[in-house]
Structure 1
Amino acid sequence: MKTFRHFLAGAALAASFVSHAAFAETLNFGIISTDSSSALKQRWQPLIDDLNKQTGLDVKAFFATDYAGIIEAMRFNKVQIGFFGNASAIEAVDRSDGEVFAKVKYKSGEAGYYSLLITNVNSKWKSVDQVLKNSRDINLGFGDPNSTSGTLVPSYYLLAKNGLSAKTSFKSVLPSSHEANMLAVVNDRIDVATNNTDMLATLKAQHLDRYKEVRVLWKSPLIPSDPLVWRRDLPQATKDKLRSFFDHYAEKDPREQAIMHAISGYSGFADSSDAQLVPIRQMALFQKKEQVQNDARMSDADKKAQLAALDRKLSELDTVAAK
């Protein structure tokens, strides 16, 4: 009987080790909602299938209706690795124990992509200057609140630098995904909308007729290419498998290269770190400074204190950027 009890105890212990190992090797891969879940799954699933085959990991795609859903899923360890934009990656790093470890590369050789302001080719709005001067007559399609190219970059470079605000300067503001904003412009259901060069390139490749319905009114400065983020507490062995896969994926194999191109014109991945988020952090802090400076409800003392705190953070980021 004693031997049998020992056998049962040993079996239970072995089972716990197997369960723990399985958990460590089973991952959810979160993908931000730049498009419909079905479209994203079609583009990303072949890569995830290759990831599973080449690493022995059990990786499953995870989708949410907005960017915050992926950020929160990583925070509560429902997602262990994810594809983010730079602004949403900041949230994942700061709130969800995330760490940037790679970024996508472009076949064109570009180090990143661009935010756009678009309208229908037949729209009466022919230039960005017209839009800025007549904003109160315009319905604006904006991005997800955590979108880099749909919200953060145009909020700063297009609006704040011209004394405008998405919240107060337009007739209406309709936040949505890049895909929904693109379709709204193509179908002439909205005056203008933010978007990016990745989505426009995808539209051109898949629907040339719809691509011809789009006019680009404004193009931002370069945005660093989108990062991959993993949870810091992943086992080192799992991180090593992931890094090895992404470092070499689509280097030579034409089939893998076609998969990357189909996702959004990408050519592969390059190593990266949290340092790539510094310019985006600086942009967000400059935007916050402008909000504080223009807040008529805030006392002078509170305003002074908040501006001093923001300047300290900017100084710290300047030091990091210099390194």
Structure 2
Amino acid sequence: MKFLRSLITLTVGAAAFACVATAQAEDINLGIISTDSSSVLKQRWEPLIDDMNKQTGLNVKAFFATDYAGIIEGMRFNKVQVGYFGNASAIEAVDRSQGEVFAKVLYLNGDAGYKSVLITNVNSRFKTLDDVFKNTKDVTLGFGDPNSTSGTLIPGYYLFAKHNTPVNTSFKAVLPSSHEANLLAVVNNKIDIATNNTEMLDTLKKQHPDKFAQVRVLWTSPLIPSDPLVWRKDLPQATKDKIRNFFVNYGKTDPHEKQVMAAITGYAGFAASSDEQLLPIRQVALFQQKQKIESDTHLSDDDRKTQLAALDAKLSALNTAVAKQ
């Protein structure tokens, strides 16, 4: 009888411990920006999320949205606690959604980042950039998500602004979409030109070399810092430690983890980072704002001077911060 009571006590105690352990598993939604369809992103990221659950003891689930803003707003309203962003969307998450950069991706080829590109079908009438800018009113442009770094911000500044070609008013049609949709539209000759990035082209080359052969690159941007991971600042420190340790150590030696990372657009793992990696992208964004103000005919001279002075002060501070890096 005494043995039976002890056995019951042990069983009840173990059950209670299991309940406590389950109750203590913290829910974390990992937001992933919509560079591809949700089904493709789920296939790429779920093995990593499964490993994250096992190694951290957290209850991590993927959070997908139809556009970048959905992930930014998800973080703002605490529906997303950790997010994989591009640099431009990370700026929005940091400024509007209590976000903070804590890591960045590493590439298998050793590159420190990736590049924006302008592409067309190999059989299109566009052989050079000059062909595009001769008569943009006869050109359909597949553009990126408004919060995309490589699809919108970088080509908007380094390509279209430098050719004095406002995107919204210069083309026959502008069709904002995901990188995947724009790439397929070019491959299938449905649009004339589109912005994209070298990550997507590398993936297409590996997985579908026949389709890659249908793409001509017309322009390539300067290097863009690799994509950041962002968490909400108000996460408990113990949770942050678990998340950071998982990411910075993942994919370094374990063959399974390396395979998982390689499947996510050719990544090799992650490295620690901070909000400082966003500074060069902030410079580009401020330059664009300055150009818009300078060309805004609806502003009075006084308003224009006031707004430009404020932007120049921000740019000066950014230039100083970048110089110190």
Identify whether the pair has TM-score above 0.5, normalized to the shorter chain. Answer: yes
CA distance in 1, matches of 2:68, 2:23: 30
Per the alignment, residue 47 of structure 2 pairs with: 46
Matched, 1:216 2:217: yes
In the alignment, residue 286 of structure 1 is paired with which amino acid?
Answer: F
Deviation at 1:162, TM superposition (A): 1.2
**Could you tell me how far apart the structure 1 residues matched to 2:221 and 2:204 are?**
19
Question: 1:214, CA displacement in angstroms?
Answer: 0.7
Say which SS state the counterpart of residue 246 (structure 2) adopts. Answer: helix
SS at match of 2:264: helix
* Within-5 A mapping of 1:276-315: 276-315=277-316
Paired residue secondary structure (1:126): coil
Deviation at 1:319, TM superposition (A): 2.1
Q: Show the 5 A alignment for 1:12-31.
A: 22=24, 25-31=26-32
Find the aligned partners of 1:308 and 1:133 in 2 and give their Cα distance: 35
Give the corresponding residue for 1:173.
174
Q: How does 1:1-323 map to 2 (within 5 A)?
A: 22=24, 25-323=26-324
Cα distance, 1:79–1:119 mapped onto 2, change above 3 Å: same
Give me the whole-angstrom Cα distance separating, in 2, the residues matched to 1:241 and 1:47: 15
Q: Could you say what secondary structure the match of 1:189 adopts? A: coil
Amino acid in structure 2 at the alignment position of 1:264: T
Letter matched to residue 63 of structure 2: F
Shift of 1:19: 10
Q: Which amino acid letter does the alignment assign opposite residue 186 of structure 1?
A: V
Deviation at 1:20, TM superposition (A): 11
RMSD: 1.7
1:7 counterpart residue number = none
Provide the rounded CA distance (Å) in 2 between the counterparts of 1:43 and 1:295: 43
CA distance in 2, matches of 1:142, 1:157: 14
Which secondary structure state, in structure 2, belongs to the residue aligned with residue 61 of structure 1? strand
> 1 CA distance for matches of 2:62 and 2:319?
37
Q: Distance in 2 between matches of 1:148 and 1:242?
A: 25
Whole-angstrom distance in 2 between the partners of 1:261 and 1:52: 20
What is the aligned residue count? 308
Shift in Å at residue 110 of structure 1? 0.6
Deviation at 1:22, TM superposition (A): 3.6
Quote the Cα distance in structure 2 between the aligned partners of 1:116 and 1:19: 49
* Alpha-carbon shift at residue 188 of structure 1 (Å): 0.2
Runs of at least 4 residues off by over 3 Å: 18-23
C-alpha separation in 1, matches of 2:23 and 2:295: 54
User: Following the alignment from structure 1 to structure 2, what is the Cα–Cα distance between the partners of residues 218 and 253?
Assistant: 38
Give the match for residue 11 of structure 1: none
- CA distance in 2 between counterparts of 1:152 and 1:230 reads 22
* Separation in 2, partners of 1:116, 1:21: 47
**Structure 2 residue matching 1:280: 3-state secondary structure:** helix
Q: Distance in 1 between matches of 2:310 and 2:21?
A: 47
Give the Å deviation of 1:21.
6.6
> Which stretch shifts more, 134-143 or 36-45?
134-143
Q: Secondary structure at the match of 2:222?
A: coil
Matching residue's letter, 1:106: Y
Q: Which runs of 5+ in 1 are unaligned?
A: 1-13
Partner of 2:4: none
SS at match of 1:221: strand
| TM-score calculated relative to the size of structure 2 | 0.92
Secondary structure of the 1:230 match is strand
Could you tell me the percent identity over the aligned residues? Answer: 71
After TM superposition, give the deviation of residue 261 of structure 1 in Å. Answer: 1.0
Which residue pairs with 2:8 in the alignment? none
Aligned equivalents of 2:292 and 2:41: distance in 1?
A: 35
Q: Residue 135 of structure 1: CA displacement?
A: 1.3
Structure 2 runs not aligned, ≥5 long: 1-15
Deviation at 1:322, TM superposition (A): 2.3
Letter in 2 for 1:99: E
Secondary structure of the structure 2 residue equivalent to 1:222: strand
